[in-house]
Amino acid sequence: MQVAPAELESLLLENDGVADAAVVGVTVNGDEVPRAYIVKVAKAEITEKSVADWVERRVAKHKFLRGGVVFVDAIPKNPVLRERAAKEVGDLKAKLA
C-alpha cells in the first residue's frame, strides 16, 4: 500500500510539539515504510516513541512510522534528507518522491 508523505507530514504538524516535519520512504527488511524527521517546538517534551504512538492512534496500520522518528534542527528542502535516511536505515532504496 502506498503512503503519501505529504499526508503524514500534514498530520505531524497537527501535533503541538512539532514545528516542522518531513516524511520519506525507506526500505526495511524489503518493505518500504515511512520515516519521519521532526523539528521540535522549543521546549517541547516529545520523544520519538511519543510521536510514533501519537501517529498510530490516527492512521491505518500501513501508515505507521516503522522507519523511525528522528529529531533534527531543521528540515532540508532538497534530496539530502532522502540520502540521509538511506545511510541511517540500511537496506534502503527509497521510492517515494
Q: For residue range 21-61, what is the model confidence (pLDDT) as tens digits?
A: 999 999 888 889 999 999 999 999 999 999 999 999 999 99
Asked if 37 and 21 count as a contact pair (C-beta separation under 8 A), the reply is: yes
Q: Does residue 92 surpass a pLDDT of 60?
A: no
**Residue 57 belongs to some domain of the structure:** yes
User: Residue 66 is part of a domain; what is its CATH number?
Assistant: 3.30.300.30
**Which grid cell is 36?**
519521519
Residue at 94 is within a domain: no
pLDDT at 94: 47
Question: Is 50 a domain residue?
Answer: yes
pLDDT at 18 over 80: yes
Q: Is residue 56 part of a domain?
A: yes
Q: What domain range is 56 assigned to?
A: 5-89
Q: Check residue 92 and report its DSSP letter.
A: -
**Are the beta carbons of 30 and 67 closer than 8 angstroms?**
no
Identify whether 96 is part of a domain.
Answer: no
**Between the CA of residue 48 and those of 2, 74, 79, what are the distances in Å?**
23, 16, 23
In a domain, residue 72? The reply is: yes
Q: CA-based diameter of the chain, in Å?
A: 37
Q: Is residue 97 part of a domain?
A: no
Structural domain count of the chain: 1
Domain assignment present for 95: no
Q: How confident is the prediction for the chain on average, in pLDDT? A: 89
